[in-house]
Amino acid sequence: MPYPLIGSSPMELDEWSDLKRYASELKGATIRGLFEEDPGRAERLRCVAGSAVVDFSKNLIDSSVVGTLVRLARRRGLEDAIDAMWSGRVINTTENRSVLHVALRMQNGPALVVAGSDVVAEVNSVLERMSEFATSVRSGGFRGATGRPIATVVNIGIGGSYLGPEMATYALADYATRDIDFRFVSNIDPAAIASVMESCDPETTLFVVASKTFTTLETMTNARVARQWILDRLGDREDVIAHHFCAVSTNLDLVSGFGIDPANTFGFWDFVGGRYSVDSAVGLSLMVAIGPERFRSFLAGFAEIDAHMRSQPLESNVPVLMGLLAVWYRNFWGAQTQAILPYSERLRRLPAYLQQLVMESNGKSVRLDGSGVEYNTGAVIWGEPGTDGQHAFYQLLHQGTTLIPADIVLFAEPVAGPPDQQDLLFANGVAQAAALAFGRSEADLRAAGVAEEVIPHKRMPGNRPSTVLLFPQLTPRTLGSLIALYEHSVFTQGVIWGIDSFDQWGVELGKEMAADLVGPLVGARAPDISGMDSSTAGLVAAYRRLRGRPNS
């Protein structure tokens, strides 16, 4: 079926009705029972994508469910949608744009001509310039205004221009240079930029300002504070800013006006959304951290999953199955959230990163033609690393009243520390998946000699679904693969729901209203509140009073 499906609802399809029936039937079954009835279940529902082994067997599914979900995907035009994205067709229809974050990792691949331009050649040109700059910073060739090498890199951005670089740089800290410290600032809270300035030496600090338009409110507010800090301490000279700032932006006029050398400005494209941009120039601070060669390995991990997504049949296509399971739980089991549980301290920011990827992409209530959806879309994403989460919220996962599907991310080899400790970490992750699925019955508790009055409290009902993603080790390549799995899962969900996963109009209104409120908040005279609702007017008055500004 051709894609995009403008205005059509998946609820009109027979497959949707079949899935409703299967969900009703499975609510009387158990995961334990599904394993007992099908001895080959674990092997049949275990898939491989690149270096990842992905175990879907502990989900509330059977062969009928999987087959019907795949047929639903075909009826919704997923295969054509995959071709459409990779060929550069306009699939972000509300912004009239192609969606080509996949081109960011086509290193030296064949030409991909879109609107008369070879996208792959352009991407590789920027990648080469990034590599030269990152090498210069890492080697000490690029120096501050006083001639000292860079010792601290501060990434200033927000949204994808912050979450991606921060998550990935922390995740790959064991592969990073020890000669440079890396900081990340996004929040407009003045304490955020102040904490950086208090702990950094202006003579050895390099700021990476990441804003495509170079007008993003939060980013540019923090960047101007950092700029003044540098000038106050190193002298208000023409060359100072060029020695301490670089930019990830396409607005060369504003970048140059800021004082940044255009040679140290790296662009990306409208076909790359912020939450899909960590493998673009937005990842410059990451490249400085791990070096150009490892950054290319990072890109290769993405490309490995891209190739899997394009070539693998839907029935064994891992990101497609991940996306279909998200639809299954959201629409047929009423799941409102999904837990992301990485058993890796280095991936502590992965849940926050995936919050943006999933919720900004699929938090939509209208289809591609603007008609309202009659079904649920994008789940709430949350989580923490294991084993910390086990002592925080796993109680609710095991014995709470809400169904919460979980993704458990595991690694076989540690990146640092005692190797034997990895065995314990891995054992915890696998055990939690088993405990969630199979629980502990009253009979088991009685057999273990548990007092009768305590049995109801210790009983674990099980039937809590999880998917286990196992990688050999957390490396630049496997991190790229992990991110790409979720990117394509999100895309799959959006195709099923008939929504535009690549716009984000919902983030704009609050920013516009905030800009309108700044004047009434800071004015020397009492503000005109006649156009405000009574709650907002009261809060403005209270704020002005607390800041010592007149209200009358």
SS3 254: helix
Laid out side by side, the sheet with 205-210 consists of: 181-185, 152-156, 205-210, 245-248, 265-266
In sequence order, what are the residues at sequence separation of 6 or more whose Cβ sits closer than 8 angstroms to the Cβ of residue 108? 120, 124
* Contact of 112 with 121, CB cutoff 8 Å: no
Give the C-alpha distances (Å, rounded to integers) separating 414 from 142, 332, 378, 405, 408.
34, 38, 33, 26, 16
Catalytic residue numbers, as ranges: 360, 391, 511
d(CA 227, CA 39): 64
Q: What are phi and psi of 159, to 5 degrees?
A: 65, -135
Rounded CA-CA distance 521/435 in Å is: 53
| DSSP code per residue over 52-115 | EEEE-TTSS--HHHHHHHHHHHHHTTHHHHHHHHHHT-EEETTTTEE--GGGGG-TT----EET
Handedness of CA 408, 413, 417, 422 (dihedral sign): positive
Q: What is the DSSP string of 443-465?
A: HHHHHTT--GGGHHHH-B-----
Could you list the beta-strand ranges (E) of 361-465: 380-382, 406-413
How far, in whole angstroms, is CA 409 from its chain's centroid? 15
One-letter amino acid for residue 491 of the chain = F
**202/151 Cα distance (integer angstroms):** 10
The single residue listed with the structure tokens 């029935």 is 315
CA proximity to 350, closest of 319, 326, 383, 321: 383
Number of H helices, E strands in the chain: 23, 15
Q: Reduced to 3 states, what is the DSSP secondary structure of residue 178?
A: coil
Q: Tokens for 478, please give them.
A: 């496997």
> First and final CA of the chain: distance in angstroms?
64
Handedness of CA 519, 524, 530, 533 (dihedral sign): positive
Burial of 528 (0-12, 13-18, 19+ CB in 10 A): exposed
